[in-house]
């Protein structure tokens, strides 16, 4: 992943509020709100390191750290959680890390999915590189070399599929989804181009122009890849995000023919879902979480 494709998760937010927040719906799209108010009520003390939303010892889930053996590259670690009781039909979600790695924020997301009834796993994409822990980190620059080398090594696709295969080993007939944040959101989109490996996907503020420089004006050809996406795709973005342009989000989702839905939040910038950091926006995070759960309920269950 090049430096041009990475952005400072804590600085890519404009103080100006765009008033063009909207929902984009396309062919076969479905949009759900869910109970965002209940989720937003659990935000006291968020926007900085805080106790988990779902604890590791929550009696409803089982936490593990499987060792994955991708088809390409050496084995990597991961962080996983499952509901206490699963069947062969239990759905699953592969969670793709942000620039900070599989940090406390991502681990909590994995547990939240398990609490909601999904088998969830986050492959540790930096594991071969001996990257530092992202827990509590606020400077993203130390992680840029690891993200760049991770992409140059060419193992990301295999690592993502290894997460998929681990879930399938737990519930052989369950449908599997894919989600990711920032860098991970970009990986989600790249992973579903020319692939039918996932039954649904949800990307959070990831690059919507893979293979082109998002800092330059978009050309129609930058979105030609959309004809190769067949996976139902949900998107969540911030109107104040200076790195993922709202116009690009609109253009990309408008070109999709697979079921899709996207929402751009007026009040949010980049990294709005990360409740461990200052970029957190509770209203947008709560709504996006409810929408994502509803999306996966629709396409995975």
d(CA 168, CA 244): 33
- Please, how many CA atoms are within 13 Å of residue 196, restricted to the half-sphere of its CB? 1
Domain boundaries, the chain: 3-300
Residue segments in the chain with a per-residue pLDDT below the cut of 50 = 2-4, 17-41
> Is 194 an active-site residue?
no
d(CA 212, CA 99): 20
- How far apart, in Å, are the Cα atoms of 139 and each of 4, 132, 134, 174, 187? 17, 12, 9, 38, 21
Helical (H) or strand (E) element with 177 = strand 176-181
Question: Tell me, what's the pLDDT at 108?
Answer: 98
Query: According to CATH, what is the number of the domain 3-300?
Result: 3.40.50.1820
Question: Tell me, what's the pLDDT at 239?
Answer: 97
Which residue is catalytic, options 159, 164, 182, 222? 182
pLDDT in tens, 67-106: 999 999 999 999 999 999 999 999 999 999 999 999 999 9
If you compute the radius of gyration of the chain from its CA atoms, what whole number of angstroms results?
A: 17
Cβ(79)–Cβ(106) below 8 Å = yes
Question: Tell me, what's the pLDDT at 101?
Answer: 98
> Is 50 an active-site residue?
no
pLDDT in tens, 263-286: 999 999 999 999 999 999 999 999
Question: Tell me, what's the pLDDT at 6?
Answer: 56
**Tokens 């979480």 sit on residue:** 289
Cβ(287)–Cβ(273) below 8 Å = no
- Residue ranges of alpha helices (H) inside the chain are 36-40, 104-115, 144-153, 156-170, 183-192, 246-255, 282-300
Phi, psi of 24 (to 5 degrees): -105, 125
Question: Tell me, what's the pLDDT at 215?
Answer: 85
Pairing of strands 78-83, 61-64: antiparallel
In the chain, what is the straight-line distance between the N-terminal and C-terminal CA atoms, in Å? 33
- Which pair of tokens denotes residue 282? 């509770």
Question: Tell me, what's the pLDDT at 225?
Answer: 97
Which residue is catalytic, options 127, 222, 241, 274? 241
> Is 270 an active-site residue?
yes
Total Cβ atoms within 10 A of residue 83: 18
Question: Tell me, what's the pLDDT at 214?
Answer: 86
Which residue is catalytic, options 159, 270, 274, 287? 270
Distance of CA 58 to the CA centre of its chain: 23
């Amino acid at each position: 992943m090049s430096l041009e494709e990475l952005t400072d998760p804590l600085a890519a937010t404009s103080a100006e509020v765009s008033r063009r927040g909207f929902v984009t719906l396309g062919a076969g799209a479905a949009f759900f709100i869910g109970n965002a108010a209940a989720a937003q009520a659990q935000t006291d003390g968020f926007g900085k390191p805080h106790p988990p939303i779902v604890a590791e010892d929550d009696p409803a889930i089982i936490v593990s750290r499987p060792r994955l053996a991708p088809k390409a590259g050496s084995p990597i670690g991961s962080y996983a959680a499952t509901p206490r009781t699963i069947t062969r039909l239990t759905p699953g979600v592969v969670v793709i890390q942000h620039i900070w790695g599989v940090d406390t924020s991502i681990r909590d997301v994995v547990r939240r999915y398990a609490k909601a009834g999904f088998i969830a796993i986050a492959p540790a994409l930096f594991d071969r590189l001996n990257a530092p822990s992202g827990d509590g980190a606020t400077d993203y620059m130390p992680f840029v070399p690891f993200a760049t080398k991770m992409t140059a090594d060419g193992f990301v696709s295999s690592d993502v599929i290894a997460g998929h295969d681990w879930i399938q080993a737990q519930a052989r007939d369950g449908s599997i989804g894919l989600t990711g944040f920032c860098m991970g959101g970009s990986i989600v989109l790249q992973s579903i181009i020319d692939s039918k490996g996932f039954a649904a996907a949800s990307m959070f503020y990831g690059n919507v122009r893979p293979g082109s420089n998002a800092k330059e004006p978009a050309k129609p050809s930058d979105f030609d890849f959309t004809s190769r996406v067949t996976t139902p795709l949900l998107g969540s973005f911030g109107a104040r995000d200076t790195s993922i342009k709202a116009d690009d989000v609109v253009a990309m989702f408008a070109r999709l023919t697979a079921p899709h839905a996207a929402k751009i939040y007026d009040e949010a910038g980049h990294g709005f879902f990360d409740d461990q950091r200052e970029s957190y926006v509770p209203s947008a995070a709560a709504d996006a979480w409810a929408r994502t759960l509803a999306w996966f309920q629709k396409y995975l269950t």
